[in-house]
Structures are given as C-alpha cells and as structure tokens.
C-alpha cells in the first residue's frame, strides 16, 4: 500500500505543480491588425461607374462628387491611375464632359509659358494640367501672383481664360 500511497502523493505534487506553472505562465497578447481604412463611399450612377471603369480599369477612385453646372447634374471623379492623377466629369448617363490630367511643369509647352510670363511676369505655376474638353486639349495652370487662380491657354499659347 505504501507504493500506491507514494504514487498518489507524487501525482498530486505533479498536478499541483502544473496548476502553479499555468497560473504564472505569461499570457500571450493577441495582436489585432489595425482596422483597414474604409474605402470612400461612392455615390455615382451605374452609367458613370461603368464608363469610368471601362476607360480606366486599373485606376483607383479617390472621391466622387455631385455638382450642377449650367443646370446639368454632373459627377466629378477624382482618381489615380498608377502615378497619373486624373479628374473626370461625367453626365449622369455616363457621357464624359471633360477631364484633367496632372502633368509636371516641365511638360508645359514653351509657347504656353512664354504667354503666361508676357502677361504675368511675376507669376509662378503651382499646378499644371492638360484639360480635355469638347474635343480640344488646352493647358490649365494654377498660378500665384497673376491675380487669377487658374488660367487656360491653348498649346500654341493663346489665351482661353481669362480672355486676353
């Protein structure tokens, strides 16, 4: 019977040790990933979405805003396509009205920069875009020191806005 008693005591000691070790074992912290940034809520008609995604399947939409221009409801889509920033304006039926592509100032034609400096010698270009509208392409420049926030010129350097 002594053998049985010593085995029982030994098992009791092992069990007590296991409970003690478990009680003092470090608790593993569960790591949670930070919540993913929610995609912007887009509010655009299906025709606008379809037209955009067909033309720019790899682009990421940053924002969509609804505007009324000359009595017509339009949707401006701000997007990034790789490194190309692009803003597009659609009618509700998906028809593209205009779009702008951000470009480096170095890509602005010399004729455009010459016309700008002739009219506004102290002006500096803060942002340059190609503006596509009504089948034509012009340059839209955000300028400082010109008395106008934005100016639009043809590739040949003729003034569109403000008129010369």
Over residues 21-31, the pLDDT tens digits come to 444 444 444 44
Place of tokens 């409801």: 73
Q: Omega before 126 cis (within 30°)?
A: no
Return the CATH number of the domain spanning residue range 46-161: 3.10.450.360
26: its two tokens: 């470090």
> Starting from the edge strand earliest in sequence, which strands make up the sheet with 60-69, in order?
60-69, 72-81, 84-91, 96-103, 124-133, 136-144, 150-153, 159-161
Task: Give the pLDDT confidence of 81-127 residue by residue, as tens digits.
Answer: 999 999 999 999 999 999 999 999 999 999 999 999 999 999 999 99
**For position 159, what pLDDT does the model report?**
96
pLDDT at 43: 83
Domain spans in the chain, listed from the N-terminal domain onward: 46-161
User: Is pLDDT at 35 greater than 80 in this prediction?
Assistant: no
Q: Name the one residue in this structure whose structure tokens are 């979405």.
A: 49
Model confidence at 53, in pLDDT bands (50, 70, 90)? very high
């Amino acid at each position: 019977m002594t053998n049985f008693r010593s085995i029982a005591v030994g098992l009791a000691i092992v069990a007590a040790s296991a409970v003690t070790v478990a009680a003092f074992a470090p608790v593993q912290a569960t790591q949670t990933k930070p919540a993913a940034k929610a995609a912007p809520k887009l509010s655009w008609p299906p025709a606008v979405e379809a037209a955009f995604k067909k033309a720019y399947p790899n682009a990421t939409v940053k924002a969509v805003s609804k505007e009324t221009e000359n009595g017509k409801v339009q949707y401006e889509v701000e997007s990034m396509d790789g490194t190309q920033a692009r803003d597009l304006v659609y009618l509700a039926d998906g028809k593209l009205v205009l779009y702008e592509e951000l470009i480096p100032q170095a890509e602005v034609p010399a004729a455009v920069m010459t016309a700008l400096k002739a009219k506004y010698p102290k002006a500096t270009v803060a942002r340059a875009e190609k503006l596509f509208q009504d089948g034509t392409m012009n340059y839209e420049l955000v300028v400082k020191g010109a008395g106008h926030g934005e100016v639009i010129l043809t590739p040949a350097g003729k003034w569109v806005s403000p008129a010369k």
